[in-house]
Amino acid sequence: MTVHIGATKGDIAETVLLPGDPYRAKWAAETFLQDVRLVNEVRGMLGYTGTWNGHPVTVQGSGMGMPSLSIYVNELIRDYGAKTLIRIGSCGGMQDKVKIRDVILAMTATTLSSPSRGIFKEVNYAPCADWSLLQAAVKAAETRSLNPHVGGIYSSDVFYDERPDLNEQMVRHGILGVEMEAAELYTLAARYDCRALAVLTVSDHLGTGEALPSDQRERSFGDMVEIALEAAIA
């Protein structure tokens, strides 16, 4: 048990999926895993462990933003021995070719700042995904006749962004989408010699203003979860 995770030793699998929303963790665990049990509910941040094709998997909510995710990932790795961590979440599309419901596999994650920024000081560290996970995720998507977008994303440290000039530069430099967690996940995975990936579903688009209604989001996120599971266990 840690400050933020009430699970006991052995309750957390080495493979962990990380949705931001704790209720999405509940949905993903109950929909895709077998023999599911609740292992954490501290502060309402739900976590479940079950099996997928016989392999132990934990689905743990991480909250919104890099500071919140950093808390859970640090504890999952240091105190519970997590080795493979995959963020499953929504993002905003930024390129014209990126459409609502598309899947993005984040090769790199650009950011202005993160909880780890103070460590690097003047260095602009470049957080990136684990290659084996990225490769397996591409294969898993293609077996579903999906054509995922693979490339760089932007991990913003604010939700209500008032920097349209910055977004313009992100689009100009090929950034596929924006979310709020992956850059810190990739940095922590590198620090602790673990594997990490972000598998994202485009739920809205900064350019067109399109957005998925809330009642359609879960139904559209199934491919993302299955890609993450297949990549993690491959």
Which residues have a catalytic role annotated?
204
Alpha carbons 104 and 82: distance in angstroms, whole number = 24
Q: Report the DSSP beta bridge partners of residue 149.
A: 104
Find out whether 78 is annotated in a ligand binding site: no
Find out whether 203 is annotated in a ligand binding site: yes
Find out whether 233 is annotated in a ligand binding site: no
Find out whether 144 is annotated in a ligand binding site: no
Alpha carbons 209 and 128: distance in angstroms, whole number = 28
Find out whether 50 is annotated in a ligand binding site: no
Q: Is residue 220 classed exposed, middle or buried when 0-12, 13-18 and 19+ CB atoms within 10 A define those classes?
A: middle
CB 93 within 8 A of CB 102: yes
Find out whether 217 is annotated in a ligand binding site: no
The DSSP code sequence of 169-183 is HHHHTT--EEESSHH
Feature table: binding site: 4, 20, 24, 43, 87-90, 179-181, 203-204
Feature table: binding site for a purine D-ribonucleoside: 4, 179-181, 203-204
Feature table: binding site for phosphate: 20, 24, 43, 87-90
